[in-house]
């Protein structure tokens, strides 16, 4: 029987729910970055190169053989560093079940007869559903939100635990949710090319904290979000950033900041849209002073 164990483990992996594809380089999914240029994240991702490839993994989030967005995943903290997406508008949709990524590791074959919820503990390089059970005050917080998905397939693909962090419930449903609505309104209203088509690039990330959820998953101390697009009506590039502490009530309404302010907050040599025309020192409100009223920002 021992010779059957590797085969059984492989079958178990193939049966596990997944919506992702682990690849070896950011270039495999660079269509989700403006000008195909991934962010610079100090100590993690520099010049498109992952500095510790044993720890950080590039995931082309994929559903029904269609790639939808990209995530850089931290297998030590078991949360994403960031998720990035090319926003082209959205339609109404619904939620779905949470999924995992078996490609990040191999399941211990000795656990093959365990129930699925027990078997999830064998995933040591990622979070699973059981890690979010009995977590008073926290829930599964999307980095790339479901609401940004262009169609139902894109929306469903965000429901992978490789796109999720432990987020304080009141922050998730409060100031962070309001910020997501604000950014989506800006993208829909102002990010139009010469043919009137919507296009914008978003990157949403998390700063690891000092505490763990269920003694396993890092609880981020802060979440951040940035977008950049070209506005044909203004003949100019627009960009802004937001961030907030992952604390109860999420603090006050998240203020619209510049990319440069976000880079300073993240620490050198961080840069969200390197080598692009995205303005570093102005926000979208500089061109659209009525933005706060129009998009409730």
DSSP letters of 176-193? HHHHHHHHHHHHHHH-B-
pLDDT in tens, 1-25: 444 443 333 333 333 444 467 888 8
Report the pLDDT value the prediction gives residue 39, as an integer from 0 to 100: 98
Q: What is the mean pLDDT of residues 278-285?
A: 92
Among the four given CATH numbers 3.20.20.210, 1.10.1380.10, 3.30.43.10, 3.40.570.10, the one describing domain 2-294: 3.40.570.10
Q: Residue 204: is its pLDDT beyond 90?
A: yes
CB atoms inside a 10 Å sphere around CB 273 = 24
Please give the mean pLDDT across all residues of the chain.
Answer: 86
Report the pLDDT value the prediction gives residue 133, as an integer from 0 to 100: 87
- Whole-Å CA distances, 136 to 124, 163, 203: 22, 20, 28
| Sequence-ordered alpha helix ranges (H) in the chain | 5-15, 116-119, 152-157, 169-173, 175-190, 259-266, 284-287, 291-294
Spell out the domain ranges in the chain. 2-294
Q: How far apart are CA 72 and CA 144, in angstroms?
A: 12
Phi/psi of residue 154, nearest 5 degrees? -60, -40
Q: How far apart are CA 244 and CA 147, in angstroms?
A: 20
pLDDT in tens, 216-275: 999 999 999 999 999 998 899 999 999 999 999 866 789 999 999 999 999 989 999 999
pLDDT in tens, 23-33: 888 999 999 99
Give me the residue label for tokens 């164990």. 5
- Whole-Å CA distances, 77 to 148, 149, 280: 25, 26, 30
- Between CA 16 and CA 25, with CA 20 as vertex, the angle to 5 degrees is 135
Q: How far apart are CA 214 and CA 132, in angstroms?
A: 8
Q: How far apart are CA 31 and CA 12, in angstroms?
A: 32
What is the three-class DSSP state of 291? helix
* 3-state helix vs strand vs coil in the chain, percent to 5: 30, 30, 40
Q: Which residues contact 160 (CB under 8 A, 6 or more apart)?
A: 18, 19, 20, 61, 98, 99, 100, 101
Report the pLDDT value the prediction gives residue 20, as an integer from 0 to 100: 60
What DSSP element (H or E) covers 40?
Answer: none
pLDDT in tens, 105-131: 643 333 444 444 444 456 888 999 999
Identify the residue with better confidence: 252 or 194: 194
Assigned token pair, 293: 């009223």
What is the three-class DSSP state of 236? strand
The candidate with the shortest Cα–Cα distance to 297, out of 181, 189, 192, 208, is 181
Identify the residue with better confidence: 297 or 275: 275
Report the pLDDT value the prediction gives residue 4, as an integer from 0 to 100: 41
Q: How far apart are CA 241 and CA 179, in angstroms?
A: 10
């Amino acid at each position: 029987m021992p010779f059957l164990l590797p085969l059984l483990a492989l079958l178990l992996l193939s049966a596990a729910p997944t919506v992702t594809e682990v690849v070896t380089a950011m270039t495999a999914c660079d269509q989700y970055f403006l000008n195909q240029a991934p962010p610079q994240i100090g100590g993690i991702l520099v010049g498109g190169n992952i500095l510790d490839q044993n720890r950080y993994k590039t995931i082309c989030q994929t559903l029904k053989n269609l790639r939808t967005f990209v995530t850089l995943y931290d297998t030590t903290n078991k949360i994403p560093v960031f998720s990035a997406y090319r926003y082209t508008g959205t339609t109404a949709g619904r939620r779905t079940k949470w999924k995992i990524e078996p490609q990040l590791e191999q399941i211990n074959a000795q656990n093959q007869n365990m129930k699925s919820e027990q078997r999830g503990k064998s995933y040591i390089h990622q979070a699973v559903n059981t890690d979010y059970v009995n977590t008073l005050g926290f829930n599964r917080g999307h980095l790339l939100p479901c609401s940004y998905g262009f169609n139902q397939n894109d929306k469903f693909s965000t429901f992978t635990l490789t796109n999720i962090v432990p987020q304080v419930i009141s922050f998730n449903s409060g100031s962070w949710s309001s910020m997501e609505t604000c950014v989506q309104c800006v993208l829909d209203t102002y990010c139009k090319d010469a043919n009137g088509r919507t296009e914008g690039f978003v990157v949403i990330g998390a700063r690891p904290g000092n505490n763990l959820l269920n003694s396993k998953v890092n609880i981020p101390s802060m979440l951040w979000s940035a977008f950049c697009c070209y506005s044909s009506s203004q003949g100019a590039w627009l960009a802004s950033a937001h961030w907030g502490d992952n604390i109860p009530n999420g603090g006050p309404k998240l203020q619209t900041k510049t990319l440069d302010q976000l880079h300073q907050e993240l620490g050198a040599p961080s840069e969200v849209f390197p080598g692009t025309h995205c303005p570093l020192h102005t926000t979208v409100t500089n061109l659209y002073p009525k933005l706060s009223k129009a998009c409730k920002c």
